[in-house]
Amino acid sequence: MLLYSWALTITYFHNNRLSSRVRTFLAPVSRSIQSIKSSQSIVDKTSLRIIDHPRILVAAGMIGALFLAVVPYRPDLNATGTPVGIDLHWYIEWISPMLARPPLEALSYAMGVASGGSRPLLLIPVYLVVSTGAISLVPALEALPAVLGPLLVLCVFLFVREVFGDEKLAGIAGLSTAFSFYITIGIWAGYYANMLGLSVGFAFLTMLFRYWKKQQMSQLVLLVFLSLGLLLAHPWTWIIFLTVTALFAATIWWDTRKWILLRTVVFVLAIDLSVDTVKSLVFGAQVSAQEASASFAPSLAANQVLNFWPNIINALLVPYDGLLANTLILALSLVAILSFKFDPTRRLLLLWTAVSSLPIIVLSDLAQTRVFYDLPFPVFFAVGLLILFRSTGRTLNSNLIFLIVVLALANYAFRSVTSLVATPF
């Protein structure tokens, strides 16, 4: 329902005979959702509403993400200091040869050979830090989630604040990011480049909306640099973000016949593709489309369509110890999507879901999880939780509901990172 609700949303708000019949059929559901959205809390002036302090929420989220990154290395849980993260060994294999080379050769290796030249934005800074001798390679890699987690929380907060214009919603999104799939699965699987790519991607979208509003040259320059950073951080994430952005810009042009956003996205995309081609020619790296297809082509098959439902179930329950099967995140995300209208603010998120839902049909269960991981679940969750928060009456009730939901999510995250290294009794 969550993946394909965008089709229902488009049908529901379109003006034709089918849409009219769909609106009539779904009228009771629509009235229920609208009544929840429009419910106003009875605010007790002597009480303190938690969401009225969004910057405290995002600070708590950054501290929470840092805490989760440290937990797997607690001496009582991990006495031997064993590295966690399935993909961590790949970063050792990519950076170790760089440390054995002179600086220029090491940079060239990161741009062209290591992982096909797909992750230099992460590999080069780690190499530079380790080459100073201040820290060895493995501890530096173990510390990455402690840097990437808080950074991702901050970037999601800035994105929601810019796009929705609601700092309270942004504070909830930042806090929920700390306990979301981004962090739990990112630490479990060692998806460090993907985490960095998501941070840069949210920063890119934030700057895109800011440039759309103000159209300052400095913002355009920063927008280009962020898009290149996304390209050099994680090509698969770059493909998703730029595809969603291009479709969003095209729909805005279709509605308004104003070229500014579409022209900007085409300009940014042209620069990215040019840089990607030059990187391939100079350093022998794979182009981004080639790298992404090499990762997902073995999982593509027409017969996966027949296994669609079993694949979805397996994707949620089997990989990553079933961390994707979090009912709280999925349910509140569904509430959020069903409450969306096809307006410009939420259109981006609907298109994001639509773009992600299409390859799901022909991908294997494990490949599906990489698409799920890049969905903006923290934003969906924040919208759903805010709807729930505003429908619960008095301030005390709202605060209790908010704390129960957030603590349940924090418990899920803490349990997830603890189970990576905890020895059973």
Query: Is 44's pLDDT higher than 60?
Result: no
* C-alpha to C-alpha distances, 213 to 1, 219, 224, 274, 287, nearest whole angstrom: 33, 10, 16, 27, 33
**Rounded mean pLDDT of 130-140?**
94
C-beta of residue 263 within 8 angstroms of C-beta of residue 227:
no
175-228 pLDDT per residue, tens: 999 999 999 999 999 999 999 999 999 999 999 999 999 999 999 999 999 999
Helix spans in 100-136 (H): 103-112, 120-131
pLDDT of residue 149: 97
The pTM assigned to this predicted structure is: 0.90
Rounded CA separation 165/170 (Å):
8
Please classify residue 401 by burial: count the beta carbons closer than 10 Å to its beta carbon, then call 0-12 exposed, 13-18 middle and 19+ buried.
middle
Rounded CA separation 165/161 (Å):
5
User: Which tokens hold the place of 233?
Assistant: 């951080």
Residue 215 has, within 13 A of its CA and on its CB side, a CA count of: 5
Q: Is 100 helix (H, G, I), strand (E, B) or coil?
A: coil
**Rounded mean pLDDT of 357-365?**
88
Rounded CA separation 348/252 (Å):
10
Query: Is 95's pLDDT higher than 70?
Result: yes
**Rounded mean pLDDT of 382-389?**
88
User: Which tokens hold the place of 393?
Assistant: 């009456």
